[in-house]
Structure 1
Amino acid sequence: MRALPTTPEVAGVTYDVHALGHEAQPLVVIDNIVDDPEALIALAEAGPPFVAQPTDYYPGIRKPISNTYSDILLQKVEPVLRDVFGLEHQYQPQVRLSAFSLTTTQPQKLRPIQCVPHIDNHAPNQFAVVHYLCQEKFGGTSFYRHRSTGYETITAERLEHYFKVLKQEVMADDSAGGDYINGNTRLFERIARIKVRFNRALIYRSCSLHSGDISAAVGLSSDPRVGRLTLNSFIESNPA
C-alpha cells in the first residue's frame, strides 16, 4: 500500500488516500467522520436487539440504523467519491444499506468462506464504508491479493474463475479454515492494513478482497460498548 498525496479538504471533509497493491485501487481513510459518535453508540444500545442474518456471511449480528445516518453519511462522502473514484456527475450515489455490526462468532464456529477474504459485491460502482465505533484493540481491516490468480479485486469477468480456483485451493489446503484470517496465508497475501481508530471510516470499492482483522483473544462481545462495533454501509452509484 502506498499513500497518495493527501487532499486537505473537499466539501468540509479531510481525508487520506492510499493505493492498494498492484491494481492501485483507492482506499480512503476519514478520521472523526461524525461530530457525535457517542450518540451512535447510544442508538446501538437502544431499541430492537441485534440479530444474526441467515443469508449474510457476516460472522456476527447486525441491526439497521435510521435513514438519518445514511443521509449524513452520503452528504459527507459523495464529494469524496467524485473526487477520488472519479464518479461522474450523471452518476447519483445512494445508500443501499447502513447497519450496526458486532463480530461475535467464535473461530471454531466459522464456515470455510468466513476464513478467507471476501468481496461485498462484484460491481465496480458499489462502495463499502466501514465506520469504526470500537476500541483500537480490535484491530482493523486488511486488504488482500489472491496469490495464484494475482487478483486484488473480483469483477464480474473474474468471478467464476476466481471462485472455481479458490474452492479447489481451500479443499486441498489443510491449513485453511478454523480461524479468522489476519495476515498472510498460503492462499492470500496481505497488501494493506488500516488500524481501528474510534470514529474513523474507510471507503473502498466493494469488489476489493478484504477482511476484518478479528482476534477472539480480545473478546467478541454482543455488548455495543464492549465489542467490535462498526457501522457498515453500501453505496451504489447508477446513472440518473
Structure 2
Amino acid sequence: MRGLLQPPEVAGVGYDVHALGHEAQPLVVVDNVIDDPETLIALAEADPPFVAQPTDYYPGIRKPVSNRYPDQLLQKIEPILREVFGLPDQLEPQVRLSAFSLTTTPSQQLRPIQCVPHIDNHVAHQFAVVHYLCHEKFGGTSFYRHRSTGYETVTSDRLEHYFKVLKQEVMADDTVGRDYINGNTRLFERIARIQVRFNRALIYRSCSLHSGDISAAAGLSPNPRQGRLTLNSFIESQSSV
C-alpha cells in the first residue's frame, strides 16, 4: 500500500484514501459511517434468521438488510464514487445487494476457492462496501497481488488468463491447505491490510483481489453480537441516458 492520498472534499463525509499496490487503485476508509450502528445490530438479531446460500462462496451465513440502509449508504458514498473513483456522470450507481454477513465456516470445511483471495465482480465501475459491525479482534480485510501474473485487479480482459493460471497453480501447490488466507503465501502477496474498527466501512473496486482476515481463534459464532458481523453491499452502475 502506497499510503494515504489527499482525499477530495466531500461535504459531510470524513474519509481516507489509500493507493493499493502497483496499480494504485483507490481504497476508501470511512469511520463512523452511520450515526446509530446499534440499530443495525438489533436488526441483525431480529427475524428472519441468517441462512447459508449454496450458490454463494461466502464462508458463512447471510440475510438481506430490511430497512433504509441501502438508500442511506448510497446517498453518503455516491459523491465518493464520483470524486475518488471517477464514476462518470452518465452512470448511476445502484445497490445490487446489501446483506448482513457472519463468518461461520470452520477452516476444515472450506472449499479450495475460499482459501485464496477473490474478486466480487470483473465489470468496470462495480464497487464493494464492507461495513464492520464487530469487535476489533476479528481482524479486517486484506488486499493481494497474484505473484505470477502481477495482477492486483482481475478485469474482464484478465479474467480467463487469471483463472487458468490460478487453477494450475493451486493444483500443483501442495502448501495450499484448507484454511483462511491471512497474509503472504507462495501464490499471493498481501499489498494492504485494513483493521476492523466498529462502524468503519471500506469502499473498493469489486475487481480488486481481497479476502477477510479470518481467525478461527477469534470465534466463528452465528450470534450477531458475538461473531464477525459485517454488512456487505455491492454497487453496480448503469447508464442514465
TM-score (norm 2): 0.98
Are 1:99 and 2:99 an aligned pair? Answer: yes
* Aligned-partner residue type, residue 166 of structure 2: L
Deviation at 1:177, TM superposition (A): 2.7
Residue matched to 1:221: 221
Are 1:69 and 2:69 an aligned pair? Answer: yes
CA distance in 1: counterparts of 2:157 and 2:94, whole angstroms: 24
Residue matched to 1:90: 90
Superposition map of 1:172-191 within 5 A: 172-191=172-191
Residue matched to 1:118: 118
SS of equivalent residue, structure 2 residue 93: strand
Gaps of 5+ in 2: none
Deviates more, 1:87-96 or 1:179-188: 87-96
SS of equivalent residue, structure 2 residue 68: helix
Does the CA-based 8 Å contact 2:116-2:180 persist in structure 1?
yes
Residue matched to 1:197: 197
* Aligned-partner residue type, residue 200 of structure 2: R
CA distance in 2: counterparts of 1:235 and 1:10, whole angstroms: 19
Does the CA-based 8 Å contact 1:8-1:15 persist in structure 2?
no
Deviation at 1:7, TM superposition (A): 2.8
Deviation at 1:9, TM superposition (A): 4.3
Does the CA-based 8 Å contact 2:8-2:84 persist in structure 1?
no
Q: In the superposition, relative to structure 1, how do residues 38 and 213 fare at CA in structure 2: closer, same or farther (>3 Å)?
A: same
Count of residue pairs brought into register by the alignment: 240
CA RMSD of aligned residues (A): 0.9
* Aligned-partner residue type, residue 62 of structure 1: R
SS of equivalent residue, structure 1 residue 225: coil
CA distance in 2: counterparts of 1:186 and 1:86, whole angstroms: 34
Deviation at 1:204, TM superposition (A): 0.2
Deviation at 1:145, TM superposition (A): 0.2
* Aligned-partner residue type, residue 83 of structure 1: E
Superposition map of 1:87-166 within 5 A: 87-166=87-166
Residue matched to 1:238: 238
Gaps of 5+ in 1: none
Deviation at 1:6, TM superposition (A): 3.5
* Aligned-partner residue type, residue 126 of structure 1: Q
Deviation at 1:11, TM superposition (A): 2.4
CA distance in 2: counterparts of 1:207 and 1:94, whole angstroms: 17
* Aligned-partner residue type, residue 208 of structure 1: S
Does the CA-based 8 Å contact 2:5-2:19 persist in structure 1?
no
Deviates more, 1:169-178 or 1:136-145: 169-178
CA distance in 2: counterparts of 1:152 and 1:207, whole angstroms: 8
SS of equivalent residue, structure 2 residue 171: helix
Does the CA-based 8 Å contact 1:133-1:231 persist in structure 2?
yes
Percentage of matched positions with identical amino acids: 82
* Aligned-partner residue type, residue 109 of structure 2: K
CA distance in 2: counterparts of 1:52 and 1:20, whole angstroms: 31
Are 1:171 and 2:205 an aligned pair? Answer: no
